[in-house]
Amino acid sequence: MSNSSIFKQIVEKKISANIIYEDKKITAFEDIKPKAPVHILIIPNIFIASLNDINKKNKDILGHMFYIAVNIAKEKKISKEGYRIVVNCNKNAGQEIEYLHMHLLGGKKLSVLL
């Protein structure tokens, strides 16, 4: 199984994940190896390999992913203390799964990256 198909199969409910939000466009679920007390992945329901594959036609998905990530942060009560949203793109950034995904991290003081 290529690693991109793990997320495809989560969207299709062929493998289990702790899904915390879903709609016609996106699915959000808990990361299997959480790096923070709240670590949720938000992915499009259609396959997009990485940020490099965002184009005129599919770009609106990013706004929706951000909007839902912020709503989840509020629901999880991490918005006031703060949280981080990360999208890794390709190998220098450490993208392991070739399927566009947004990380929502919070619930503790996160180490500063930049």
Residues found near ligand 5GP in the complex (CB under 6 A): 6, 17, 29-33, 41, 88, 94-97
CB of 27 to ligand 5GP, least distance (A): 11
Q: Quote the least distance from Cβ 88 to ligand 5GP, whole Å.
A: 4
3-state secondary structure the chain: CCCHHHHHHHHCCCCCCCEEEECCCEEEEECCCCCCCEEEEEEECCCCCCHHHCCCCCCHHHHHHHHHHHHHHHHCCCCCCCEEEECCCHHHHCCCCCCCCEEEEECCCCCCCC
Catalytic residues: 101
Rank residues 44 and 56 by Cβ distance to ligand 5GP and give the closer one: 44
Residue whose CB is less far from ligand 5GP, 1 or 57: 1
Nearer to ligand 5GP, 33 or 56 (CB): 33
CB of 81 to ligand 5GP, least distance (A): 21
